[in-house]
Structure 1
Amino acid sequence: MRLIQLFKKELSHEARSWVRDELVSEEQANSILARYGTSLTDDTETNSFGYYLLMSLGALFIGLALILIVSHNWDEIPRAVRTSSLLLLTLVTNAIGIKRFLSERTRAGIIWLFFGGISYGASIMLIAQIYHLGEHFPDGIFWWAMGILPLVIFTQSRLLAALSLGLASIWLGVESGEDFFPALYPLFVSVTLWLILFQARSRLLFIACVVGTMVWMNLGLAWMMGNGHHFDPVAEQLPLSLAIGLFINGVAWRLMRSDNSDWREYGLVTHIWLLRAAIVTLLGLSFEGVWQGYTPGSDWLSVVSVISILVAGVLAIVLCRESGRYASWPVMMVTGYLTFSFMLVTWFGHLEIIAAIATNLMLLLMGILLIRRGIDQSETHYFYTGIVVLLLTAFLRYFDLIGDYIGGALLFLVAAGILMVAAKYWKRRVSLISLKRGENSE
């Protein structure tokens, strides 16, 4: 799976210029683009999507301006007039949207429904204010998001799904902030996933669903511990987040092997962002002081942390076992490293230095694997990511010497040796590829 999959819109634009310059025929260009799940017409669809997006933002600003105008003279308007006006505005905008959608003016209908969704939310909030209904204000946001959800299913619109999921995510935050658990949040994630997996494609919504699910699961753990939304993100939540990340990475590799080009794209973008998050997390854990937040003990949280990482790692290995060594081997190494490190610091005392050293070794191994993967698959993204990992690790250890000066010097020497060997291996491979191309041309 190449990173060019993420830039297929740009590839479609380039292919149109190839056809225009008569470098390839239109049939050949479409055959090339079909490998990446796109076609020459996708460039035109991008232009129309830009118009659609600008119109949607225009509808949003009109709705916000209308709310401000009404709010300016709000107290002077009779209560009955205010209520009836809000209800009428919501009914009319949604009725126009549904009528245009059913008459096959799909995008115009969705824009009207988007405007109607904003009117619906404003009506909930303002009518509640007029009649002093309810003291738990997150309920208004919840019913706003819930009211849009049927329209998401009916229209299969990504714009309405983004509005519904965005409101649900706001409700997730404010509901937990009021010391209540947002138990129904997965309903909104499930509907959004159904839409983008089976009806329409959206990398942004897919990543939003993944992030939202991870946040919701962390909140669930906090509530199980009796802390509500007050939790220590490192000492209490990090092990669960790492376990979830391992499992999602296995799912991402499975998606990358799918026959569906959109699913492959979802898997690739998820894998790339998880890789970046893993690098940042390991760089943080490479400091001894971070591990000191885990106090030794036999409480149930430490046991659950280790078990969750181990189970998630095994499931991830099962999911990506058919994807090659660059999928299964890193998962096995990270699972073993995390299990060992968290067992060490939560079950024994004064061994944080060993966990920090293990983290630095893990970073070196990750850098080596990324460099090797970039060379073997001729993908510079992974090659340079591996080099950056090694350089950042060496840079951090220069200011935070683990194992005193001798240990830091040894780490620098190991990193230097890896970089030099990688450079020679890369040069040799490029020479072999050039030689093969020369033989083929003859």
Structure 2
Amino acid sequence: MNSKLIKELPDLVTNNVISQEIASKIEQHFLIKQQQTPNRLFTVFGVLGSLLVGLGIILMLAHNWDNFERATKTIFAFLPLLIGQCVVVFSIWKQKSDAWKEASGTFLFCAIGSSIALVSQIYNIPGNLSSYILTWVVLSLPLIYLLKSNAVAILSMIGITYYACEVGYSFSSFTESPWLYLVMMALVVPHYYRVLKHHKNANITSIFNWLFPLSITIVLGAFVDQLSELGFLMYLLLFSLFYNVGKIPFFDTQKLRRNGYLIFGSLGIVIMILTMSFDGFWYLERFFFNAQETYVSIVLFVVNLGLIIYSYAKGWLKLFNLFQYLFILFSVLYVFGLNIPIVGTIAVNLIVLALGVTTIKIGADTFHFGVLNYGLLIITALVTCRFFDTNMSFEIRGLLFVAVGLGFFLTNYIMLKKQKSRVESLKH
């Protein structure tokens, strides 16, 4: 895109849109940015190279492992760790580039994991996969702050997430809630905050903006212990929290593809309420309040409410957005709806319809075709769901789909006409 803009500069100067001086400054600005691109590429390839070297060493040792004596095995177990530490110390001492630090940190991260596994195998040290991953990540976390390494932070988050899944889900014979996951993620948060503060628009920040909500979404189900009925409410509250975080101006002013919180929150809310719109969902057993799931739900609700109050105090809530307040309505509905299933079913269907209409209005007001069609998709999804659990005739169902299709066409056509008239008025 930058190269296209530079090519257009002579034409802009010829048509007196900008002066030659401004064109020269724009060209110089983009040339400086292009000079920084090879460094980022070198960082990426350095990290990939370190991963491949580390994996290659592990494979070579594994292939010939049985032919070594115990002393030789021990030396080979610690050798990658020693080499990795030396390279890291060299990178810090000589104040090498970010590419050096990222590559050395990645190699040492792999070396730590391989050394733990090899020593445990050589000396038959008992343990399980979850404790192995936890030890690996705990020993690797200091590298994030010693090297200010984004690669190590990402690898650590992946390891923490896998640890939580191993402990909390049915991958092993004994499962429990992975409370240490929260502690480990909290240790990564300061690095994430630094990245947000100093590199708001960087690509690596976008990766963190997607990875954090993805990790939490995957792991939340591990905290469902006895009351699976409350798991739906927990996830709805979590997605509402993501959406409200994504609507904070710091994130909301960025491009949509960089705002993982807003996308996760919006899609998650829609998926959850569509699931709850089926009649059979509300025929669940009543839950009791003295349970772990209840406490988690209360915490998520309080955090959501606190964020809404803070946003209101800051003046961020200028327009009413049903998505942001949905957690309050659903919390009340969920507590009482299980007693009266027909009320819960009707209320949820009306809420889904209201969300679709609200989204369409937001898209129309902002002339955003993506948001507009997203609202139409919500209504289409609602109609599709009712296609499977109602006794309407196929003629009526067909007419509904025709009506929705015409709605897609007419709404986009009207929006396009308005946009063209708006452009024409700006020209004159």
Q: Same fold (TM over 0.5)?
A: yes
* Number of equivalences: 408
User: In the alignment, is residue 370 of structure 1 matched against residue 363 of structure 2?
Assistant: no
CA distance in 2, matches of 1:169, 1:256: 26
Pick closer, same or farther for the CA change 1:278–1:315 going to 2, 3 Å: same
Aligned residues of 2:322 and 2:355 also touching (Cα < 8 A): no
What does 1:168-247 correspond to in 2, within 5 Å?
168-176=160-168, 177=172, 178-199=174-195, 200=199, 201-222=204-225, 225=226, 232=228, 235-247=229-241
Look up the match of 2:370.
381
User: In the alignment, is residue 88 of structure 1 matched against residue 84 of structure 2?
Assistant: no
Q: Which range is displaced more, 265-274 or 162-171? A: 265-274
Aligned residues of 1:291 and 1:355 also touching (Cα < 8 A): yes
Look up the match of 1:140.
132
- Per-residue deviation at 1:289? 2.1
Q: Which range is displaced more, 38-47 or 246-255? A: 38-47
Pick closer, same or farther for the CA change 1:174–1:313 going to 2, 3 Å: closer
User: In the alignment, is residue 166 of structure 1 matched against residue 158 of structure 2?
Assistant: yes
- After superposition, the C-alpha distances for 1:406-435 in whole angstroms (9 at most, x for unaligned) are 997997799689768845863663354134
- Per-residue deviation at 1:41? 4.4
Look up the match of 1:5.
none
Look up the match of 2:268.
277
- Per-residue deviation at 1:394? 1.9
The residue type equivalent to 1:370 in the other structure is T
- After superposition, the C-alpha distances for 1:285-304 in whole angstroms (9 at most, x for unaligned) are 22212333x22365545976
Pick closer, same or farther for the CA change 1:391–1:153 going to 2, 3 Å: same
Helix, strand or coil at the partner of 2:259: helix
Match of 1:436 among 420, 425, 428: 425
Pick closer, same or farther for the CA change 1:66–1:94 going to 2, 3 Å: same
CA distance in 2, matches of 1:356, 1:191: 42
Pick closer, same or farther for the CA change 1:276–1:248 going to 2, 3 Å: closer
Aligned residues of 1:371 and 1:382 also touching (Cα < 8 A): yes
Pick closer, same or farther for the CA change 1:423–1:150 going to 2, 3 Å: closer
Look up the match of 1:124.
116
- Per-residue deviation at 1:312? 5.1
Aligned residues of 2:58 and 2:114 also touching (Cα < 8 A): yes
Look up the match of 1:228.
none
- Per-residue deviation at 1:316? 4.2
TM-score when scaled to structure 2? 0.80
CA distance in 2, matches of 1:372, 1:87: 62
Measured on the aligned residues, the alpha-carbon RMSD in Å equals: 3.8
Match of 2:247 among 250, 253, 256: 253
CA distance in 2, matches of 1:384, 1:43: 36
Pick closer, same or farther for the CA change 1:318–1:58 going to 2, 3 Å: same
CA distance in 1, matches of 2:372, 2:24: 30
The residue type equivalent to 2:222 in the other structure is L
Q: Which range is displaced more, 236-245 or 50-59? A: 50-59
Aligned residues of 2:43 and 2:102 also touching (Cα < 8 A): no
Aligned residues of 1:250 and 1:316 also touching (Cα < 8 A): yes
- Per-residue deviation at 1:275? 0.9
Aligned residues of 1:67 and 1:122 also touching (Cα < 8 A): yes
Pick closer, same or farther for the CA change 1:310–1:413 going to 2, 3 Å: farther
Structure 1 stretches lacking a partner, 5+ long = 1-10, 226-230
Look up the match of 1:8.
none
Pick closer, same or farther for the CA change 1:364–1:325 going to 2, 3 Å: farther
- Per-residue deviation at 1:130? 0.7
User: In the alignment, is residue 111 of structure 1 matched against residue 114 of structure 2?
Assistant: no
Q: Which range is displaced more, 387-396 or 152-161? A: 387-396
Pick closer, same or farther for the CA change 1:435–1:68 going to 2, 3 Å: closer
Look up the match of 1:296.
286
Q: Which range is displaced more, 381-390 or 416-425? A: 416-425
Aligned residues of 2:245 and 2:261 also touching (Cα < 8 A): no
- After superposition, the C-alpha distances for 1:302-354 in whole angstroms (9 at most, x for unaligned) are 9768856754553343244333455644322x2354134313333x1xx3343
CA distance in 2, matches of 1:149, 1:194: 12
CA distance in 2, matches of 1:412, 1:54: 49
Q: Which range is displaced more, 188-197 or 365-374? A: 188-197
Match of 2:347 among 358, 380, 394: 358
Pick closer, same or farther for the CA change 1:278–1:39 going to 2, 3 Å: farther
- Per-residue deviation at 1:105? 2.5
Aligned residues of 1:12 and 1:39 also touching (Cα < 8 A): yes
Aligned residues of 2:167 and 2:176 also touching (Cα < 8 A): yes
Helix, strand or coil at the partner of 2:179: coil
